[in-house]
Amino acid sequence: MKLFVLVVISCVSIYVGYLCSKKYKVRANFFQAMVYLCQKFDVEINYSRERVKNIFLGLDEKQKNKLKGIDINYLSFIDKEAPLEKAMLFKDINFLKEEEKDLIFMFFKGLGRSDVDSQSKEIKNFQNRFETLSANANNENKKYGSLSIKLGFIAGLFILVVFI
Amino acid sequence: MLKKILPNDIYEIINSKVNYKVVNEIRLRADKPIVLILGSQRVFLGQNGITNNLKYAIYSSKIMVEDVIFRASECSIYSVNEQLKKGYLVTKGGIRLGIGGDLIEEAGKVKTMTNFNSVNIRLPHEIKNCSLSAFNYIVQNNGILNTLIISPPGAGKTTFLRDFVCQLSERNYAYNVLVLDERGEFDLGASGSIGNFADKISFASKKIGFENGIRSLSPNLIVTDELGQKEDVEAVLYATNSGVSVLASAHSDTLENFIKKPSFEELISNKIFKRYILLSQRNGPGTMEGIYDENFSRLR
């Protein structure tokens, strides 16, 4: 019985390590998707003047998953179901820092508000900043993501060794 | 569509407390009361519907004006910039917005419009059979006569043209009709139609639309709105010289004032149009004041 409890506890600690690493992975994927979104906007706006809503709806499932629902939250503003507010835009999104939220909020707030040239320049500007954030998030993921898993594993092993 | 572009509270009042069918225009100006145009009557919009008392009027703000235009562009101002440069915007359902704001010029050309401060929402209404009383004057045994509809703004020119195209379709006339919809005003969405036998070219200038349409769609009749520029007159001459009939409209309040317009001199002196139909708002949009022949002799 004792052995079983110890195994469960060590598994839990490994799982906690995995969860911590996942946060970094989600952040890295999110900013990668934001960069992709900017690129897509730039192309679609310049080429076909495609409407904002259609650009979001045209995203592939993989990118949509990476955006963690921020696209759906924004579409509810476009569909007049909710005002464009930070709390609404970042509903159920808890892996972003406050200054990152401010930046992303500004990005969404400016979408569709100007002519092609201005919009394109603005998007390029945001794309640069998202690329920096994406690079940082990737580094964090490599550094702390794998570290979290390792720490979880070591903690689990430590519990087993100490109590057996 | 109106629901999508107006603020929810304003839409609710109009929808529940105003007879939508008689509203022709909704005018929003920054920090001014919201004005409704019902036929030739101007009233304010209040919490309880229409009012003549300024004290009860609802005021619109600059943010409200900007939001209406943003919504009307489907949250994509960049996609309607060409229209904004000309001071208007047409939504999918055919609602026309006249827009006031700052025009930005660069190297002598209008680049865009910003700092919106007023918007005039013109609501299209389908008036079924409004062209019927003129139908037999336009359609004759030897074909469709070149016809010009003359009226002041908001008197039902587009409605007349749309209904005429529909009547041709309903009566199964074997004409290929090309609707050249320069400003996207013919589209009434689900509530209206241009019939089953009409092709449509949208958002092209009359010159390009006429030339391309005649080459590629071989129409018997071209229907278009609002002639005014010299190029428009040239496009009409190109069509009539190609054996294609033209049904068009032009702005003017009276026949006398129309005849004085220099841009139409060539069309009038060469008797290109065989019929002139004068509309007014006297008894509401679409009131027919008279039908005239090429010599401006009254037929009806």
pLDDT band of B197, cuts 50, 70, 90 = confident
Q: Which of B2, B4, B28 is nearest to B14 (CA)?
A: B2
Tell me how far CA of residue B139 lies from CA of B167, B175, B210, in angstroms: 11, 11, 21
Q: Give the residue-averaged pLDDT of B260-267.
A: 91
pLDDT tens figures, B44-73: 999 999 999 999 999 999 999 999 999 999
Check CB contact of A42 with chain B, cutoff 8 Å.
Answer: no
Optimal mutation site among B75, B89, B102, interface A, most CBs of chain A within 10 A: B75
Measured CA distances, B17 to B12, B13, B95 (Å)? 8, 5, 20
Establish if A58 touches chain B: CB-CB under 8 angstroms.
no
Q: How many Cβ atoms from other residues are within 10 Å of residue B153's Cβ?
A: 11
Question: Which candidate, B197, B194, B38, places its Cα nearest to that of B123?
Answer: B38
Per-residue pLDDT band for B187 (boundaries 50, 70, 90) equals low
Query: Would you place residue B193 in the very low, low, confident or very high pLDDT band (cuts 50, 70, 90)?
Result: low
Predicted local confidence at residue B85, as pLDDT: 92
Closest residue of A to B69, CA-based? A113
Which amino acid is present at B21? K
- Please name each of the domains of chain B with its CATH number: 6-122 (3.30.450), 132-293 (3.40.50.300)
A152: pLDDT strictly greater than 80? no
φ/ψ of A36, rounded to 5, equals -60, -40
| pLDDT score recorded for residue B189 | 54
Q: How confident is the model at residue B188 (pLDDT cuts 50, 70, 90)?
A: low
pLDDT at residue A143, as a whole number: 84
Q: Which of B4, B77, B112 sits opposite A112 (nearest CB)?
A: B77
- In chain B, residues with a C-beta closer than 8 Å to the C-beta of A45 are 78
**Predicted TM-score (pTM) of this structure:** 0.78
What DSSP assignment string belongs to B141-205?
TTEEPPEEEEE-TTSSHHHHHHHHHHHHHHTT----EEEEETTS-S--GGG----SSEEEEES--
Inter-chain touch A53–B75, beta carbons under 8 Å = yes
Q: Does residue B285 register a pLDDT over 70?
A: yes
- How close does chain A come to B75, measured CA to CA in Å? 5
- Distant-in-sequence, close-in-space partners of B106: CB < 8 Å, separation ≥ 6: none
Name the residue among B70, B79, B114 with its Cβ closest to that of A51. Answer: B79
Contacts of B74 in chain A (CB under 8 A): 51-53
The contact set of B with A (CB < 8 A) is 4, 8, 70-71, 73-79, 81, 84, 111-112, 114
Determine the pLDDT at residue A156.
Answer: 75
Q: In this model, does residue B164 exceed pLDDT 70?
A: yes
Measuring CA to CA, which residue among A30, A22, A42, A23 is closest to residue A130?
Answer: A30
Residue A121, pLDDT score: 95
A144: Cα separation from own chain's centroid: 16
Higher pLDDT, B186 or B232: B232
pLDDT of residue B76: 96
Query: Which residues lie below 8 Å from residue B23, measured CB to CB, with a gap of 6+?
Result: B14, B36, B37, B38, B123
Average pLDDT value over all residues in chain B: 90
